[in-house]
Amino acid sequence: PLATLADPTLLKTAALIDGAWVDRGEHFAVTDPATGQVLAQVANLGAADAEAALAAAARAWPAWRAKTAKERASVLMKWYQLLLQHADDLARIMTAEQGKPLAEAKGEVGYGASFIEWFAEEAKRVYGETVPTTDNNKRYLVLKQAMGVCAAITPWNFPIAMITRKVAPALAAGCPVVIKPAEQTPLSALAVAELAQRAGMPAGVLNVLTADAERSIQIGNVLCASDTVRHLSFTGSTEVGRILMKQCAPTIKKLSLELGGNAPFIVFDDADLDSAVEGAMISKYRNAGQTCVCANRLYVQAGVYDAFVEKLAAKVKAIKVGNGFEAGVTQGPLIDEAALAKVESHVADALAKGAKLLTGGQRIGERFYSPTVLAQATGEMLCAREETFGPVAPVFRFETEAEVVALANDTEFGLASYFYSRDVGRIFRVGEALEYGMVGINTGLISTAEVPFGGVKQSGLGREGSHHGIDDYVEIKYLCLGDI
Ligand code: ADP
C-alpha cells in the first residue's frame, strides 16, 4: 500500500535525533493491521539514544527559546502548510499502519495539522501580567516562560493528531521536544518529523525516538527519570498513565495526561431521535470504536428505547467493514489481536448476562470485528464499567433524569460524555451535573483545536488545544521590582 506515495521520501524508517536520521542496525517490524503484511523495518532505539536525544534537546533549547514568538510561529506555519500539502501521502501511511479508512485518515491529517496552525497563532499571545501594587515603592510583574525540554509519549489510535497537539504548543512556547510514538504507528510520526525538518525546524528542537514495545518501556524510564525533562505529556491507557506518574514522582515533573474514558451517551425522550442515532454512529463507530472519546455506554430513556435501538441497528448494518484502502469502506480492522480479544470478551460477557444481539457480534476473518449493537444491557456487564475500545454499542434503558446522571457519573473515568435533549432546562441541568471534562450536547463530535480537550478523575490532567493548551508548557514567574 505504500508503493504509490507521491513523495516516497516521506517514508522514513530511521529515528530523528539532533537533526540527523539515526539507525543503529536494530529494527522492529511495522505491520498493516488489515493484512498482517510487514510494511517496514524501523530503527529500534534504546535508553542511550533517549539520553542522546535529551542532551540534543537541552542544547537546542536556548536558541529556540531566544527566537521571537513570531519566528517560532513562522516555522510552525510552514510545517502546518507542508502537512496539508502532503495530506494524501500522510493519509496513506496512516491507513497502512493504523487501519482506519483512508477518508478518516485524511480527516485526521487536517485535524492534526490544525493544532499546529492554532498554536502557531497562540505563540504570539503568551501574555504576562502587571499586577496593581500594594506598595508604591514596588511593582509586580508576571512572566510566562518556556518550561524547558518536554517529552511526549503517544498512542496509535491517532498517529498524527496525538503528536501535534502536544508538540505544537510546546514548540510554540519555546520548548524543544522528544517524542516516543507508539510502536504500532511510527511511520506517521516520522513522516511528520521529516516535514518539520523541511519547514526549517532547527536540529535538536524536535526529536523522535522509535522503539518496539519493550524498548519503549526502557525509553519511558529514561524520559521519566531525567532531570532534563521538565514536562511529560502522555496519551494512552490509565494503567500506563499511573506507571508514568509514579516514575515522574522523584523528579517532581509536570504532567499532562490524556487517559482512558468510559463515555456515556444519553438519549432523553425529548431528543431528536434521528439526530441522536447519527451522533451515536459518529461517536461510537469512528476509528472502529478505538478512540478515548467513543461512546462506551448508550443510555436511552424508556419512551424512545425501542425506536432508538431499531434505528441504530439499521444504520449499523450499513457500515462497510474492510481494508481502509478500499473505496466505500467505513470501518477498518482493529489494531491487534489483544484489541479483538477484549471486544470478544465484552460481547460474550454481555450475552451471557442477558443482552440481546441486534446486529454484529462476531469476528470477520482474523482482523476485523463486525459493528455490533447489544440491547437490554445492564450494569453488571463488563461493558458498563470498562472501556471496550471497539465497535460495540451496549444500549441501557433508563427511566428518569436523576437516575441516568447517577449512572453516567458512576465511574472512575471522566473524559467525554454526550446527551441528546431539546429541553433547555434539562440541557443546563445535565450539562452541569455530568462529571466529565467534555460534554457533547446534541452532537457526537466535539473535538477541535480551538477548545480544551481533557478529562477529570482518572481520565487525566491538563487540557490540550484552546488557549489553555499552551499553559502546560510555560512556567509562571513573578518579578518583584523594588526601590521605585
Ligand atoms: P494503548 O492502550 O493505546 O495501546 P498504551 O498506554 O499501552 O496505550 O500505550 C501508549 C503509549 O505508551 C505507546 O507509545 C507505548 O509504547 C507507551 N508505553 C506503554 N507502556 C509503557 C511504559 N511502561 N513506559 C513507557 N511507555 C509505555
Atom of ligand 1 nearest to the CA of 241: 6
How many angstroms does the Cα of residue 238 sit away from the middle of ligand 1? 10
Nearest CA to ligand 1 atom 22: 217
How many A from CA of 362 to the centre of ligand 1?
A: 27
Q: Which residues contact 71 (CB under 8 A, 6 or more apart)?
A: none
Q: Among 147, 148, 149, which Cα is nearest to 54's? A: 149
Q: What pLDDT score was predicted for residue 322? A: 98
- CA separation for the pair 372, 310 (Å, rounded): 13
Joined together, the cell numbers standing for residue 232 give 511529560
SS3 241: helix
Is-contact 410 297, C-beta < 8 A? no
Cα(225)–Cα(221) distance, rounded to whole angstroms?
Answer: 6
Residues contacting ligand 1 via CB (< 6 Å): 153-155, 180, 182-183, 216-217, 220, 236-237, 240, 243
Q: For a substitution probing ligand 1, which of 45, 153, 166, 188 has the most ligand atoms within 8 Å of its CB?
A: 153
What is the set of active-site residues?
Answer: 258
Dihedral of the CA atoms 75, 76, 78, 80 (nearest 10)?
170
- The confidence score (pLDDT) of residue 369 equals 98
Query: Three cell numbers at 455?
Result: 478529562
Angstrom distance (rounded) from CA 204 to CA 16: 9
Ligand 1 atom index nearest CA of 183 = 16
Mutate to test the pocket of ligand 1, among 180, 184, 216 (most ligand atoms within 8 A of CB): 216
Residues of the chain with pLDDT under 70: none
Q: How far is the CA of 429 from the centre of ligand 1 (A)?
A: 37
User: CA-to-CA distance for 102 and 92, rounded, in angstroms?
Assistant: 7
Instruction: Give the list of residues 6+ apart from residue 410 with CB closer than 8 angstroms, or none.
Output: none
Q: Assign residue 7 a region: left if phi > 0, alpha if psi is -120 to 50, beta otherwise?
A: beta
Q: How much is the pTM?
A: 0.98
Range list of H helices, 123-262: 161-173, 186-198, 213-225, 238-248
pLDDT of residue 77: 98
Q: Which atom of ligand 1 is the closest one to the Cα of 243?
A: 23
What sign does the dihedral 220-109-387-343 (CA atoms) show? Answer: negative
Whose CA is closest to atom 16 on ligand 1?
182
CA of 217 to the centre of ligand 1 (A): 8
Q: Is 265 helix (H, G, I), strand (E, B) or coil?
A: strand
Which residue owns the Cα nearest ligand 1 atom 15? Answer: 182
Which residue's alpha carbon is nearest to atom 9 within ligand 1? Answer: 236
Q: Which of 240, 287, 342, 413 to mutate to test the pocket of ligand 1 (most atoms within 8 A of CB)?
A: 240
Whether 253 contacts 229, CB under 8 Å: yes
Question: Closest ligand 1 atom to the C-alpha of 260?
Answer: 2
Q: Which residue has the cell 489510535?
A: 157
Q: Whose CA is nearest to atom 13 of ligand 1?
A: 182
One DSSP character per residue, 409-458 reads H-SS--SEEEEE---HHHHHHHHHHS-SSEEEES-S----TTS-B--SGG
- 417 and 408 Cβ atoms separated by less than 8 Å: yes
CA of 240 to the centre of ligand 1 (A): 6
pLDDT at 66: 98
Query: 235: CA distance to ligand 1 center in Å?
Result: 8
Q: How far does residue 24's CA lie from ligand 1's centre (Å)?
A: 23
- Ligand 1 atom with the shortest distance to the CA of 219: 25
Residue 133 CB coordination number (10 Å)? 13
Please answer whether residues 211 and 30 qualify as being in contact, where contact means their C-beta atoms are separated by less than 8 angstroms. Answer: no
Smallest CA separation from ligand 1 atom 21, residue: 217
Ligand 1 atom closest to 240 (CA): 6
Span 196-251, pLDDT tens digits: 999 999 999 999 999 999 999 999 999 999 999 999 999 999 999 999 999 999 99
Tell me the C-alpha to C-alpha distance, in Å, between residue 183 and each of 36, 121, 411, 454.
15, 31, 30, 24
Q: How far apart are CA 12 and CA 19, in angstroms?
A: 14
